[in-house]
Amino acid sequence: MIKEKGILFVLSGPSGVGKGTVRKALFEQDTNLKYSISMTTRNKREGEQDGVDYFFRSHDEFKEMIEQNRLLEYAEYVGNYYGTPRQYVEEMIEAGHDVFLEIEVQGAMQVKQNFPEGVFVFLIPPSLEELKNRIQDRGTESEELITSRLQEARKEIEMMESYDYVVVNDDVDNAVKKVQAIVQGEHCKKDRVAKQFKALLEVEK
Amino acid sequence: MIKEKGILFVLSGPSGVGKGTVRKALFEQDTNLKYSISMTTRNKREGEQDGVDYFFRSHDEFKEMIEQNRLLEYAEYVGNYYGTPRQYVEEMIEAGHDVFLEIEVQGAMQVKQNFPEGVFVFLIPPSLEELKNRIQDRGTESEELITSRLQEARKEIEMMESYDYVVVNDDVDNAVKKVQAIVQGEHCKKDRVAKQFKALLEVEK
């Protein structure tokens, strides 16, 4: 049977929805997914390894990557660049691994433009009220910041139109199970399987 | 939150692939699916109940159902009609239940014409060779019949183009897990969730 290619899964969602928690819980269970390694211009910290924690690059190298369109997405944050190198993702997928990318909404939209064959999953809170509670529970944000976050979330929720799937994060275990189901279901999509099976038919003719 | 509607899932595939076994194993595990009840003109057997095992109808009643396009599919077999009434499926879906229909390929194609919003899953053997072995193992069929079954299977496999998903029945438990993943994944499809979530946004404005 012809080797099946991997799939790029992109998990995104509004700020505070729990993307990181879901991703962490997912990776504690599922070893078949490769987490996409980011590229950054920030300094390597003690214990960090190039090609494991990040790909560490100079500002000039990063800018060259941008110019050559070799990043699926990038952003500047506190004077440093962070981005997702296309090559790493493509190599993993060619080798049959699914790649998993957890990223904020603007980055996800860049990935969608540069890698439309990816599968885009939007994580949402069970309600905006719930999101508000979660942000309040952190206890570190002012009312003003919370209000602006909520406005942002409202916009981001309207952005769910750009995604393939929406997972309600009412419970981390539930959300993880749904993401796992999406991963497995995508591998059963007719277009993906048909290619392999037609090759088999050819062999037996 | 607005109540989510159910989904019609149609499991089909070539003769001998193990549709019935997969369906049985699925229903032993999953109680959230309603099995579609067929309508027939054949006589009720001892212990069978109308509306449970089948909807038992006269030939005239059945023909009227056909004329009024109230069947998602039907076929004649040994002088009797068998079919899937649209109303039962629609009522279950309205009530939020997923409906599951296991059916041969020609029936599935009729359902697709009459209910294109269904999700169509094609079950295939890991190879045609495997299908051949399975048919031979039954020990009840002549070489001639096996050859004709294989030709039919080849045609049917080419029909997988009309389906949404393809599940390889290499192992019943694997196949059941995949069908369950497809069911769960379909409920996370953006179009299905977006409707409910937009209603929430309206409420909080």
Distance CA B35, CA B9 (A): 10
Mutate: best of B129, B188, B192, B200, partner A, most A CBs <10 A = B188
pLDDT value of position B197: 65
**Cβ neighbours for B90, distance < 8 A, ≥ 6 positions apart:** none
Kindly tell me if the per-residue pLDDT of B2 is higher than 60: no
Kindly tell me if the per-residue pLDDT of B1 is higher than 50: no
CB contact under 8 A, A188 and B182: yes
Query: CA nearest B199: which of A127, A169, A183, A42?
Result: A127
- Residue with the bigger pLDDT between B146 and A58: it is A58
Kindly tell me if the per-residue pLDDT of B33 is higher than 70: yes
- A139 conformational bin, left if phi > 0, alpha if psi -120 to 50, beta if neither: left
Q: Give tens-digit pLDDT for A79-113.
A: 999 999 999 999 999 999 999 999 999 999 999 99
- Residue with the bigger pLDDT between B106 and A138: it is B106
Topology of domain B8-36+97-204, CATH: Rossmann fold (3.40.50)
Alpha-carbon distance B176 to nearest alpha carbon in chain A (angstroms)? 12
Q: Pairing relation of β-strands B80-85 and B39-40?
A: antiparallel
CB contact under 8 A, B190 and A158: no
Residue B137, CA atoms < 13 Å, CB-side half-sphere:
8
Kindly tell me if the per-residue pLDDT of B39 is higher than 90: yes
Q: What backbone torsions phi and psi does residue A7 show, to the nearest 5 degrees?
A: -130, 145
Residue in the block written with tokens 């299905």: B192
Query: CA nearest A19: which of A152, A146, A130, A175?
Result: A175
Query: CA nearest B21: which of B145, B167, B143?
Result: B167
Find chain B residues with C-beta within 8 A of A160's C-beta. 190, 193-194, 197
Lowest mean pLDDT among A198-202, B74-78, B81-85, B107-111: A198-202
Alpha-carbon distance B147 to nearest alpha carbon in chain A (angstroms)? 13
CB contact under 8 A, A190 and B163: yes
Tokens of A114: 């540069």
pLDDT value of position A120: 98
Mean pLDDT of B91-120: 95
Chain B residues within 8 Å of chain A (Cβ atoms): 1, 121-122, 124, 127-129, 154, 157-158, 160-161, 163-168, 177-178, 180-186, 188-190, 193-194, 197, 200-201, 204
CB A190 within 8 A of CB B13: no
Residue A120's CB is within 10 A of a number of other CB atoms, namely: 23
Q: What is the mean pLDDT of chain A?
A: 87
pLDDT value of position A129: 61
Distance CA A8, CA A83 (A): 16
**% of chain A at pLDDT higher than 90:** 63
Domain range annotation of chain B: 8-36+97-204
CB contact under 8 A, A182 and B182: no
Residue in the block written with tokens 């029909």: B159
Q: How confident is the model at residue B155 (pLDDT cuts 50, 70, 90)?
A: confident
Mean pLDDT of B126-150: 68
CB contact under 8 A, B128 and A182: no
Lowest mean pLDDT among A27-36, A51-60, B59-68: A27-36
Give A99-125 as a DSSP string.
EEEE--HHHHHHHHHH-TTSEEEEEE-
Q: What is the ipTM of this complex?
A: 0.83
Compute the C-alpha angle B153/A5/A90, nearest 5°: 160
